[in-house]
Structure 1
Amino acid sequence: MLARRAGMQTRSSGDFMKRTYLVIGAAIVLVGGFLVASLLSTSDPGAQRAEVAAQNPAVFNRMGSPALGPLMARAQVTEFFDPACEGCRAFHPYVKQIMQAHEGKVRLTLRYATFHKGSDYVVKVLEAVRMQGDALYWQALDAILEAQPVWADHGRPQPQRVWEFIGGLGIDLERARRDMDDPRIAALIAQDTADITTLRVNKTPSFFINGQPLREFSPDTLNAQIVEALRS
């Protein structure tokens, strides 16, 4: 009887030690996971984006996007842009000033990031207008951004109202309404959306200068990085 009790106690002690080791092992795994997650969450997102951009240079060489400036300009600026974005509207005049200050030396390419509700509709309008000429496109873009507070209320967007603000620019509006459904426009938006995912772009405007992300979100930094690109 005593021997059986001793054996039972031995097995119970062994089981207890096994459970203890399992608990300790699980705790170590959990702690390790938390440490890894912490390191990932606190890493520099700008550095991550720069590394991803360096590994995927093709995303900056898509043909067919709206662009201003010489094709082989030394400074290539890519802006991921949402026509319903208040930041894009606020930054737009500075971008134009910088382009004028470095006229003939910088190429600006717009890529669409339709994060806001209704902005995909406005992009289709803009691209349909571009089919009638680049000059009309940039005029329409200026007009639509100027009227953004009217049609892009984030609580109740009314993207269809953009037609009101481009009617006096000489655009064939009926043709533009038909061209909105052109499959080439859908393909362009789809490509931009895929490249946004690749580059981990999650806000607008997002700028890349010769494939390098903007170091600090300010017009001065954008101009400084363009100057660096021109001198390199």
Structure 2
Amino acid sequence: MNNKSIVLSVAVFGLILLSVAAWFFVRPMFMRAAIPTEQTLAVLRPHSPIIGPEDAPVTIVEFFDPTCEACRKIYPVVRDIMAEYGDTVRLAIRYVAFEGKGSVEAIRVLEVARKQGVFQPVLEALLRDQKRWAKDGAPEQELIIQISTEAGLDPEAARTQMLEPIIAATINQDRADAEVLGVTQTPTFFVNGRSVNSFGEAELRALVNEEVAASRK
């Protein structure tokens, strides 16, 4: 074999080694950047109302029905968790109207409240007075609007805004995502995409703590 052939062979062999090395270096990056699954996308949507810092590294997602008594009872716990971790944790609300028409009416008001910039005070007012407007399984729309007005809602604008197609689209998307994720009751929580296996304050706090610790490494 002449010198030219030897040089060419060495060059080809070097390129092969370089290609193999590059594959093993880049391969983990491809593995880490896996294509999101349908379930991953279903946990949190861009339209979801957010309470807390937009850039918080830990997101609690709650599938929520405004007429759900357990949702009312757990809300102060969620607020306490957010206060404990400061700017590290935020809450995203997903709607599931398991209780039917009354839940849908309250959700419409909440979405209008978000549009008007008073989502959190209206949410907290409706939860605080839930026993008034959601009693006997027959929620009263006018009472929902009255309570929300006391929390800062513009009622005249709300009556028109509640009919906007985007609100129906939001309700339908959240319902579809709940089905994809197998959500059958409220509240159901996810923390950074991880489901809370059993409902309870201890389980939720433990998972949030894990994710906060991971975000600080």
Same fold (TM over 0.5): yes
Corresponding residue of 2:58: 75
Q: For residues 95-143 of structure 1, give each alpha carbon's deviation from its aligned partner in whole angstroms, at most 9, with x where no partner exists.
A: 111111111001210000100131001100111111111xx11000111
Corresponding residue of 1:116: 99
Corresponding residue of 1:59: 42
> Which stretches in structure 2 are left out of the alignment for 5+ residues?
1-35
- Residues 86 and 99 (structure 1), Cα distance of their counterparts in 2 relative to 1, 3 Å cut: same
Corresponding residue of 1:107: 90
2:68 is matched by which residue type in structure 1? C
1:80 partner SS: strand
1:103 partner SS: helix
Deviates more, 1:217-226 or 1:84-93: 217-226
Corresponding residue of 2:184: 202
1:102 partner SS: helix
Residues in 2 aligned to 1:61 and 1:140: alpha-carbon distance in whole angstroms: 22
1:154 CA drift (Å): 4.3
Residues in 2 aligned to 1:216 and 1:196: alpha-carbon distance in whole angstroms: 16
Corresponding residue of 1:128: 112
Residues in 2 aligned to 1:56 and 1:156: alpha-carbon distance in whole angstroms: 33
1:143 is matched by which residue type in structure 2? A
Residues in 2 aligned to 1:123 and 1:155: alpha-carbon distance in whole angstroms: 16
Residues in 1 aligned to 2:136 and 2:177: alpha-carbon distance in whole angstroms: 25
Residues in 1 aligned to 2:62 and 2:107: alpha-carbon distance in whole angstroms: 14
**Structure exhibiting the larger radius of gyration computed from Cα positions:** 1
Residues in 2 aligned to 1:119 and 1:180: alpha-carbon distance in whole angstroms: 13
Q: For residues 140-176 of structure 1, give each alpha carbon's deviation from its aligned partner in whole angstroms, at most 9, with x where no partner exists.
A: 0111111111111244332431122122233211001
Q: For residues 176-200 of structure 1, give each alpha carbon's deviation from its aligned partner in whole angstroms, at most 9, with x where no partner exists.
A: 1110011111111111011011001
Instruction: Tell me if structure 2 keeps the 8 A contact 1:116–1:154.
Output: no
TM-score (norm 2): 0.77
Match of 1:144 among 104, 123, 126: 126
Instruction: Tell me if structure 2 keeps the 8 A contact 1:119–1:159.
Output: no
1:205 CA drift (Å): 0.2
Residues in 2 aligned to 1:68 and 1:116: alpha-carbon distance in whole angstroms: 24
Corresponding residue of 1:169: 151
Q: Identity rate of aligned residues, in percent?
A: 38
1:57 CA drift (Å): 0.8
1:184 is matched by which residue type in structure 2? I
Instruction: Tell me if structure 1 keeps the 8 A contact 2:134–2:140.
Output: yes
Corresponding residue of 1:91: 74
How many residues align? The count is 178
TM-score (norm 1): 0.72
Residues in 2 aligned to 1:88 and 1:160: alpha-carbon distance in whole angstroms: 22
Instruction: Tell me if structure 2 keeps the 8 A contact 1:152–1:159.
Output: no
What value does the CA root-mean-square deviation take over the aligned residues? 1.7
> Which stretches in structure 1 are left out of the alignment for 5+ residues?
1-52
- Residues 155 and 122 (structure 1), Cα distance of their counterparts in 2 relative to 1, 3 Å cut: closer
Instruction: Tell me if structure 2 keeps the 8 A contact 1:122–1:159.
Output: yes
Instruction: Tell me if structure 2 keeps the 8 A contact 1:111–1:192.
Output: yes
Q: For residues 197-223 of structure 1, give each alpha carbon's deviation from its aligned partner in whole angstroms, at most 9, with x where no partner exists.
A: 100100000001111111332212211
